[in-house]
Amino acid sequence: MTFTGLIGRICMFPLRAIISACVALKIHPNILTFVGVLINVAAAFELANAHFIRAGGIMVIANIFDFIDGKVAVELGEVSKFGGFWDSVIDRFSDIALFVGLIYLYSHLGRTDYVMVTSLAMMFSIMTSYARARAESLIAKCKVGFMERPERIVLFMIGAFTNRMAGVLWVILVLSIFTVADRVIHTYRELRDPQREVLA
Amino acid sequence: MKNPATLPGRILWNAFFWTFERATWQYDVMVIAILAFVWLVPPDWLKDPTAHGTGPIGWLLSRIR
């Protein structure tokens, strides 16, 4: 059992209870997704006002909704193509909201250097998702690169709870650049040699 | 593209051109490295707009000096 696997298992205990409650109440997964983004906007508002601890707490609640919507959809038998599309679009909105909150804060503090760091981190985070979505319209799978959405969200929470947002933004920026590069290179290699995909 | 021949080169290559799943030992190592960077690097070094101080590394360096 790995350290991160253990943390995942521990977190699943309360989440299972929340999923069961949502299934019992027959809450539609698309509504859960939408509630999640609304709560994330509240977190962005708190980030913009430099209330990091409060923002971190709100992010935890928002991302519970974000995490359980897919599981509730499976258990209620409400899995649909539109649900997947809706979830992806709303996820991008949630991502951008958090970054915009920080951009507002840093511009208010007169820190153009961190406005740039945050803007670039936002740009490459969106590119990470876009690169995979576009690649998977051409090849079977493009799940390479470290910095995906769950990693980003957990890093945001760590940055908020421990007031280390600058370090978190640098990590997100650098690893997102490599993730995008990784996906471009992977897609290029797969398309250049389609046999590789068949063999894999 | 081929992996670099030297061990440090291979480690960096695998860290940046990531292909491992979550909950593997490689993922654990990467998470620990990221947390070490976030928590140990002094906010002053990064010119953090909302946090100040030299952090654990700064404290350690001041002790050594």
By the 8 A CB rule, do A95 and A126 touch? yes
Closest-approach residue (CA) in chain B for A142: B19
Of B18, B26, B40, the residue nearest A3 (C-alpha): B26
What was the pLDDT predicted at A28?
94
By the 8 A CB rule, do A138 and A189 touch? no
Q: Which residues of A touch B37 (CB under 8 A)?
A: 167, 170-171
Instruction: Write out the DSSP string of A76-136.
Output: HT---HHHHHHHHHHHHHHHHHHHHHHHHHHHHTT-HHHHHHHHHHHHHHHHHHHHHHHHT
**CB-based contacts of A95, cutoff 8 Å, min separation 6:** A122, A125, A126, A129, A149, A152
**CB-based contacts of A170, cutoff 8 Å, min separation 6:** A117, B37, B46
Q: Which residues of A touch B22 (CB under 8 A)?
A: 4-5, 8, 150
B24 inside 8 A of chain A by CB: yes
Please give, rounded to a whole number of angstroms, the shortest distance from the CA of A25 to a CA of chain B. Answer: 32
Task: Report the distance separating Cα B42 and Cα A86, nearest Å.
Answer: 40
B43 inside 8 A of chain A by CB: yes
Closest-approach residue (CA) in chain B for A110: B49
What was the pLDDT predicted at B1?
60
Q: Does residue B30 have a pLDDT over 90?
A: yes
Please give, rounded to a whole number of angstroms, the shortest distance from the CA of B36 to a CA of chain A. Answer: 10
Task: Report the distance separating Cα A74 and Cα A100, nearest Å.
Answer: 32
Closest-approach residue (CA) in chain B for A51: B50
**How would you write the pLDDT of chain A (200 residues) with one tens digit per residue?**
888 899 889 988 889 999 999 999 999 999 999 999 999 999 999 999 999 999 999 999 999 998 899 999 999 999 999 999 999 999 999 999 999 999 999 999 999 999 999 999 999 999 999 999 999 999 999 999 999 999 999 999 999 999 999 999 999 999 999 999 999 999 999 999 866 655 54
Q: From the CB of residue A26, how many other CB atoms can be counted at a distance below 10 Å?
A: 9
Task: Report the distance separating Cα A69 and Cα A75, nearest Å.
Answer: 10
pLDDT, chain B, mean: 86
Task: Report the distance separating Cα A25 and Cα A61, nearest Å.
Answer: 18
Q: From the CB of residue A24, how many other CB atoms can be counted at a distance below 10 Å?
A: 9
Closest-approach residue (CA) in chain B for A146: B18
B48 inside 8 A of chain A by CB: yes
Please give, rounded to a whole number of angstroms, the shortest distance from the CA of B24 to a CA of chain A. Answer: 6
